[in-house]
């Protein structure tokens, strides 16, 4: 089936605050999941986002799609296994966080500069990824979504 653009939830929506559940290998291989991954990618590209997490489209599962340097990454059940002590402050925005005019806005957020991450790809294969700078930031932002955390929650700490 053709990929479709999904509706993105906007803060404050309680569904953005739920902790998402891991998905099983058989579920990853399920046709419905394959379609959902296509739809997530389509939605991210249409909205010109650097990433999208399943809870942002109302699906309470640990699935993330990223668009980094024209490469699409599907991270299923992602886990950060190691991260730098050093942090870096850079502007961050989110498709689910808009101002009173419905516009996305950017604020500086402190994130680990690099990290190692373990995940399953769209075929269910376990993969490891070393990420730094923008990609590391995107992974931290998206994994936060899986735990019901939004980037604005970090602003007070800066």
Q: Which residues are catalytic?
A: 142
Segment near Zn ion (CB under 5 A); pick from 26-34, 91-99, 116-124, 126-134: 91-99
DSSP 19-46: PPBP--HHHHHSHHHHHHHHHHHHHHHH
Kindly state whether residue 94 participates in binding Zn ion, applying the rule CB under 5 A.
yes
Which residues 6+ apart lie within 8 Å of 132 measured at CB? 113, 114, 115
Kindly state whether residue 136 participates in binding Zn ion, applying the rule CB under 5 A.
no
Count residues binding Zn ion (CB under 5 A): 1
* Residue numbers 101-120 binding Zn ion by CB under 5 A: none
Kindly state whether residue 40 participates in binding Zn ion, applying the rule CB under 5 A.
no
CA distances (Å), origin 126, targets 15, 36, 53, 109, 131: 28, 19, 19, 30, 16
The residue with its CB nearest to Zn ion is 94
CB of 150 to Zn ion, least distance (A): 7
Kindly state whether residue 54 participates in binding Zn ion, applying the rule CB under 5 A.
no
Residues 151, 110 contacting (CB under 8 angstroms): no
Q: Which stretches of the chain bind Zn ion, using CB under 5 A? A: 94
């Amino acid at each position: 089936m053709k990929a479709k653009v999904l509706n993105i939830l906007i803060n404050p929506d309680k569904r953005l605050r739920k902790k998402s559940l891991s998905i099983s290998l058989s579920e990853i291989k399920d046709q419905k999941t394959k379609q959902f991954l296509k739809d997530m990618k389509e939605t991210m590209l249409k909205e010109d986002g650097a990433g999208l997490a399943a809870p942002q489209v109302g699906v309470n599962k640990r699935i993330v799609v990223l668009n980094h340097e024209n490469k699409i990454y599907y991270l299923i059940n992602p886990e950060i296994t190691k991260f730098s002590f050093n942090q870096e402050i850079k502007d961050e925005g989110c498709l689910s966080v808009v101002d009173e005019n419905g516009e996305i806005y950017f604020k500086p957020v402190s994130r680990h500069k690099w990290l190692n991450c373990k995940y399953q790809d769209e075929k269910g294969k376990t993969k490891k990824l070393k990420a730094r700078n923008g990609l590391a930031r995107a992974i931290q932002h998206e994994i936060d979504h899986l735990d019901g955390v939004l980037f604005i929650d970090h602003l007070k700490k800066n």
